[in-house]
Amino acid sequence: MTRTDSRRFVRGHGTVTVTTRKGRKVRVRHIRPTDAPLLIDMFHRLSPETRRFRFFTSIPDLPEDILWREVRRYTEFNERRQAALIAVVREDRQDRAVGVVRLVVEKADPDIAEVAIVLRDDYQREGLGTAMFDLLIQLALVRGIKRLRAVSLAENEGVQRLIQHAGFRVASQTSHGETTQIMYLEEQDGEQHGPGSTAACESLTSG
């Protein structure tokens, strides 16, 4: 990506092509309201474990109303409070979503945003999650967000490693089977170094 492309991207335009470790090309761009059917299709294809890791529920088939509500939370939002990127590939002569990552700025504290990510199973462990998360961090930095928080199931080694290896200091705390990680994008004098906060994970049951 050139510098101009990079500037356009962080302002919400353009596409970044990511080449995965297996050499597959994936287009990553900002999400649009018209992407809802792509996300529904992707969520239908997730394995039970990936659903559990992302949504904290083992319901094998997510009820359609809950699925649509979740997808609308991804695609229709206040741009000042949220950013979301979608990863798209061409399969069977149509576009298919294989990943989505987003941040939601906290109402009570605009310095902090909650992050969540999920990839279709057949695109996991190829570096795509790292690439998408790096792009999301750039969006967060441009917006002046100082901390990113991720809540995951305690046994979710994948996302915890992804966050640990993003290049920022991370504070981590596990309680009641959930791990909260705080990434410090910008350190402040006298800042408390703990995950703190009471934010609920982005579970489907949290509405």
Ligand X SMILES: CC(C)(COP(=O)(O)OP(=O)(O)OC[C@H]1O[C@@H](n2cnc3c(N)ncnc32)[C@H](O)[C@@H]1OP(=O)(O)O)[C@@H](O)C(=O)NCCC(=O)NCCS
Q: How far is the CB of 66 from ligand X (least distance, A)?
A: 17
By CB under 6 A, residue 161 contacts ligand X: yes
Taking a C-beta distance cutoff of 8 angstroms, is the pair 111, 146 a contact?
A: yes
**Spatial distance between the Cα atoms of 139 and 81, rounded to a whole number of angstroms:** 12
Cβ 5 to ligand X, closest distance in Å?
A: 22
CA separation for the pair 36, 42 (Å, rounded):
10
Range in contact with ligand X (rule: CB under 6 A) among 5-13, 32-40, 46-54, 183-191? 46-54
Supply φ then ψ for residue 51, to 5 degrees.
Answer: -60, -45
- List the beta strands (DSSP E) in the chain: 15-19, 25-30, 82-91, 94-105, 112-119, 147-153, 169-175, 178-184
Contact flag: residue 195 with ligand X (CB under 6 A): no
Residue 130 found at the interface with ligand X (CB under 6 A):
yes
> Which two structure tokens, joined as six digits, stand for 93?
């002569």
Binding piece for ligand X, criterion CB under 6 A, among 1-9, 49-57, 59-67, 179-187: 49-57
Q: Which of 15, 50, 174, 197 binds ligand X (CB under 6 A)?
A: 50
The residue from 127, 134, 143, 204 that contacts ligand X (CB under 6 A) is 127
CB of 63 to ligand X, least distance (A): 20
CB of 20 to ligand X, least distance (A): 8
Q: Which of 42, 62, 97, 117 binds ligand X (CB under 6 A)?
A: 117
Q: Please, are residues 173 and 206 in contact by the beta-carbon 8 Å criterion?
A: no
> Residue of minimal CB distance from ligand X?
129
156 Cβ contact list (under 8 Å, min separation 6): 53, 179
CA terminus-to-terminus distance, the chain: 37
Task: Using CB under 6 A, count the residues that bind ligand X.
Answer: 22
Closest listed residue to residue 68, CA positions, set 204, 201, 206: 204
User: Near ligand X by CB under 6 A, which window of 4-12, 22-30, 68-76, 149-157?
Assistant: 149-157
Six-digit token pair at 13? Answer: 């335009």
Answer whether 160's CB lies under 8 Å from 179's CB.
yes
Q: What residues from 11 to 30 belong to the interface with ligand X (CB under 6 A)? A: none
Q: Does 181 bind ligand X (CB under 6 A)?
A: no
- The residues of the shown chain that bind ligand X, judged by CB under 6 A, are 50, 53-54, 116-119, 124-130, 152, 156-159, 161-162, 165
